[in-house]
Amino acid sequence: MRHFFSVGGESALAQVMCRKPLLAFDFDGTLTPIVSRPEQAFASKAVALRLHALSQLLPVAIVTGRTIEDARERLGFVPTYLIGNHGAQDENDPVKTAFLCEGLNPLREALQAHQAELAAAGVRVEDKGLSIALHYRLSRKRAQAVTLIHNLLAPLGSLIKVFAGKMVVNAMAKDAPDKADALRTLVQRSGASCAFFAGDDVNDEPVFAAAAEDWFTVRVGRDDPTSKAKYFLDGPSEMATLLDCMLAALSK
Ligand SMILES: [Mg+2]
């Protein structure tokens, strides 16, 4: 993995841009810094303006762990596609959405039964319909909180899949699409021949791992040296400059 602004990154991106890719981005930690209270995360004007300009030229997708409804308010522009719940929430597929939501009912019951324990450990439960996030960022006993969460989820192992995020454990129906599935669908739907994707977290790695050889992938942050992305940025603060490189490549 090389830094995007090292030798070769910008010219490799320019080559991909000539092929009219789908441009896809995670939101939290990618377009905007991680904040201790997720409700305070909004795309900066600099990022939103550039993404709007790009969306006039190429299909732009946001693929986020948030719900579609939540993410929409935070972008500052209207993307071509907005996929929520880690790849599983697709406005074009309401039947599957309802089915995947019901698949989490056994977990909802378990969480309800252990409500007091979770609250005492500082775990905040966020039910996003197709996924349930168990946040422990604000817990004073994080190790204990994580143990409690995993003990609670373990008996449901055959029904749900569990993956970590930044100070959060996420649970979804076992057969829910992930971000890699979502990207594959979007590339088809848009008719693009390849894709650009940037993300910063565990749930973005399936996209990097499944990406075709001619896709352009960027991990935001240096926190995972084993990432399968081709390039990295130091943080979301470098995103506006990367978007400028995209716009410059398209104007040639
Ligand atoms: Mg993220």
CA of 53 to the centre of ligand 1 (A): 22
At 1, is the pLDDT very low, low, confident or very high (cuts 50, 70, 90)? Answer: confident
pLDDT of residue 93: 86
Distance 221 CA to ligand 1 centre (A): 10
Residue 161 has pLDDT above 90, yes or no: yes
What pLDDT score does 251 carry?
95
Centre of ligand 1 from the C-alpha of residue 20, in Å: 24
pLDDT at 208: 98
Show the tokens assigned to 94: 């309401």
Q: Is the pLDDT score of 245 beyond 90?
A: yes
pLDDT for residue 152? 97
198 CA from centroid of ligand 1 (Å): 9
pTM score of the predicted model: 0.93
Q: Kindly give the distance from the C-alpha atom of residue 33 to the centroid of ligand 1, in angstroms, as a whole number.
A: 9
Domains of the chain: 2-90+177-251 (3.40.50.1000), 95-173 (3.30.70.1020)
Q: How far is the CA of 174 from the centre of ligand 1 (A)?
A: 21
pLDDT at 146: 97
pLDDT at 200 over 90: yes
- Asked if 62 contacts 82 with a C-beta cutoff of 8 angstroms, the reply is yes
Give the residue-averaged pLDDT of 226-236.
97
Contacts of 19 (CB under 8 A, 6+ apart): 193, 194, 214
Task: Name the strands in the sheet holding 81-83, side by side, starting at the edge strand that comes first in the sequence.
Answer: 2-3, 231-233, 216-220, 195-199, 22-25, 60-63, 81-83
Percentage of the chain surpassing pLDDT 70?
100
Bridge partners for 22 per DSSP:
195
Q: Tell how far the Cα of 252 is from the centroid of ligand 1, in angstroms.
A: 31
Mean pLDDT for 168-182 is 96
pLDDT for 7 equals 80
For residue 81, how far is its CA from the centre of ligand 1 (angstroms)? 17
Cα-to-centroid distance, 102 and ligand 1 (Å): 25
pLDDT band at 252 (very low <50, low <70, confident <90, very high): confident
Rounded to an integer, what distance in angstroms lies between the CA atom of residue 224 and that of residue 29?
14
Consecutive H or E run containing 196: strand 195-199
Distance 19 CA to ligand 1 centre (A): 26
**How far, in Å, is the centroid of ligand 1 from the Cα of 26?**
6
Rounded Cα distance, 179 and 195, in Å:
13
Alpha carbons 252 and 59: distance in angstroms, whole number: 18
pLDDT band at 183 (very low <50, low <70, confident <90, very high): very high
Q: What is the pLDDT of residue 94?
A: 86
The conformation of residue 116, written as its DSSP 8-state character, comes to: H
150 Cα–ligand 1 center, Å: 22
Q: Render pLDDT for 65-115 as a digit per residue (tens, 0 to 9).
A: 999 999 999 999 999 999 999 999 998 888 888 999 999 999 999 999 999
User: How many angstroms is it from 203 CA to the middle of ligand 1?
Assistant: 8
Which carries the bigger pLDDT value, residue 43 or residue 91?
43
CA of 209 to the centre of ligand 1 (A): 16
Residue 38: is its pLDDT beyond 90?
no
What are the residues facing 199 on neighbouring strands? 219
From CA 133, how far away is CA 164, in angstroms rounded?
9
Report helix, strand and coil shares of the chain as percent, to nearest 5: 45, 20, 35
pLDDT of residue 92: 86
By CB atoms closer than 10 A (0-12, 13-18, 19+), residue 200 is buried
Give the pLDDT mean for 134-156: 96
pLDDT for residue 34: 92
Ligand 1 center to residue 106 CA distance, Å? 27
pLDDT at 233: 97
pLDDT band at 19 (very low <50, low <70, confident <90, very high): very high
Q: Which helix (H) or strand (E) holds 124?
A: strand 124-127
